[in-house]
Amino acid sequence: MPFDFLQDKSILITGGTGSFGQRCVEILLNETQAKRVIIFSRDELKQSQMQMRLSDPNGRLRFFIGDVRDRERLERAFWGVDYVIHAAALKQVPALEYNPFEAVKTNILGTQNVINAAIDQDVRKVMLVSTDKAANPANLYGATKLCAERLVISSNVYAPRDKTRLSVVRYGNVLGSRGSLLRVIEVQRQTGRITLTHEAMTRFWITLTQGVHFVLGSLERMQGGEIFIPKIPSMRVKEFIQLVAPECRLDVVGIRPGEKLHEVLITPEEARRAREFDSFFVILPESEDPWFEAEAYQDGKPAQDGWHFASHTNAEWLDETHLKSLLETI
């Protein structure tokens, strides 16, 4: 069985009723022998619906109502937990531009609370789920996620050497998640017209299942302080829409505030510390901390000077066949 490291362990997902959290819980229940799978979120309705939908004959599921803004509640929820996947965040770009203080409270201060609670409760490993919006951010959401990344990476210095370790996973657009382009297309195609912000726009693409498997695999191999990036393909948004809804007319409306033409997963500055493996990249910590064994990544290929991992210069591109095969797995 994959992910044997979770056998008889307790794992908690903040934001566990979100798209990532729900798929993660399904995979943990079906593909691992984790002792406890804990959903931590603030939406009791979604928790109730999730509880009714999921099969849990062995009684492994636990549900905690709480907010990452509440450190005391996190302290209680993290008691006896081995692994934490921190996926809770406010993510809607336009809403966060209009409500900036709320973005800071959840995405930054909430992450600080997760870190402190994990260290105080001797959680073994914490993995932050981040986004390509955090690399060279162009909007408040991306800036808060970049700050959350830096908090997680740097906080390893606060933890005892043989206790809590913290790392980051960063990836691109998720096919089929709530608020994703697919959901927008489903709504707009009923009108026969779909909005496109720019004909040259490109994005990275990954499915929910691929994202969860990558997070769990990275959780197993992490030492603390790394940023893990999967090798995922790119596609022009225009081509994506034309393949998914070929019958619809495209209306070009212009790039929205805070939106990039192309996304970046590894910046040129980060590339100096990046190592390439068959299916992923890892950005090593800037400082040589005593707990970190760099030789664990010595087989990785160093990045070339000036290289960066961007959606428009990606070596791997989605074609129609590959996209359809991905959509069938959603």
The model's pTM = 0.96
pLDDT at 201 over 90: yes
pLDDT, average across residues 54-64: 92
Q: Is residue 133 among the annotated active site residues?
A: yes
What is the distance between the alpha carbons of residues 25 and 20, in angstroms, rounded to a whole number?
A: 9
The confidence score (pLDDT) of residue 55 equals 87
Confidence of residue 292 (pLDDT cuts 50, 70, 90): confident
Pairing of strands 280-283, 234-236: unpaired
pLDDT at 166 over 80: yes
The confidence score (pLDDT) of residue 179 equals 74
pLDDT at 289 over 80: no
What is the distance between the alpha carbons of residues 65 and 107, in angstroms, rounded to a whole number?
A: 18
The confidence score (pLDDT) of residue 57 equals 86
The confidence score (pLDDT) of residue 178 equals 78
Confidence of residue 1 (pLDDT cuts 50, 70, 90): low
Percent of the chain with pLDDT over 90: 82
Residue 302 DSSP code: E
Q: Residue 220 has which token pair?
A: 């197993």
pLDDT, average across residues 131-145: 96
pLDDT at 65 over 70: yes
What is the distance between the alpha carbons of residues 100 and 95, in angstroms, rounded to a whole number?
A: 8
The CATH classification of domain 4-172+206-231+265-306, taken from the options 3.40.50.720, 3.40.47.10, 3.30.450.20, 3.40.50.360: 3.40.50.720
String of DSSP letters for 174-213 = EETSTTSHHHHHHHHGGGTEEEES-TT-EEEEEEHHHHHH
Q: Which amino acid is at 181?
A: L
pLDDT, average across residues 175-186: 84
* Helices then strands, each counted (H, E), the chain: 12, 17
Q: Count of CB atoms within 10 A of residue 238's CB?
A: 17
The confidence score (pLDDT) of residue 226 equals 96
Confidence of residue 305 (pLDDT cuts 50, 70, 90): confident
Measured in residues, the chain has a length of 330
Catalytic option among 9, 105, 125, 133: 133
